[in-house]
Amino acid sequence: MLATSLDQECCRRANDINKLRQEGKQSLDASMETTQRKNALACSALASALEKECEQRDVLRNSLHVAMQAMTAEFEIKMADQSKQMEELRQRLDKDAEEFKAATVDRLQMISEVTEMKDVLERVTTLTLTGLRADMNGLTEAMQEGEILSDKIKLLKKPCSFHSEDR
C-alpha cells in the first residue's frame, strides 16, 4: 500500500510536473508571442519614424538645394553688377588719367612757351636797354659835341678884340 501510494504520489507529481511544464511552455510561448508582438509593433513604429525622418530629410535637402540655387543666382547677379561697376570705374579712371595727361602736357607746353616768351622778353629788354644806352651815349656825345660847336660858333661870332685894337 505504501508502495502503491508512493507510486500514485509519484505519478501525481509527475503529472503535476508535466502539467507545470506545459503551462510554463504555454506561458513562455504566450510571453514570447506578446514580446514578439511588442517587438513587431516597436519595429513598425521605428520603421514609420525612420520613413518620416527620411521624408523630412528629403524635404530639407530639396529646400536647401532650392535655397542654394537662389543664393547662387543672387550672388552671380551681385557679382555681375559689381564687375560692371568695377569696369565702369576703371573706364572713368582711364579717361580721367588720359585727361590729366593731356592737361599736364598742355600745362608743360604752356610753361615752356611762357618761359620762352620770358627769355625773349628779357633778350628784347636787354637789347632795347643796350640800344637805348648806346643811343643815350650817342645823344650825350652829340650834345657834348653840339655844346662844343655852339661854344666855337659863339667864339667865332664874337668880334675879335685884337683885330679891332690893331686898327
What's the rounded mean pLDDT across residues 79-89? 95
Residue 31 CB coordination number (10 Å):
11
- Read off the pTM: 0.41
Question: pLDDT class for 15, splitting at 50, 70, 90?
Answer: confident
> What is the domain partition of the chain in residue ranges?
2-159
pLDDT, averaged across the chain: 85
What's the rounded mean pLDDT across residues 78-87? 95
pLDDT digits (tens, 9 = 90+) for 30-80: 788 888 888 888 888 888 998 999 999 999 999 999 999 999 999 999 999
For residue 158, which phi and psi values (nearest 5 degrees)?
-70, 135
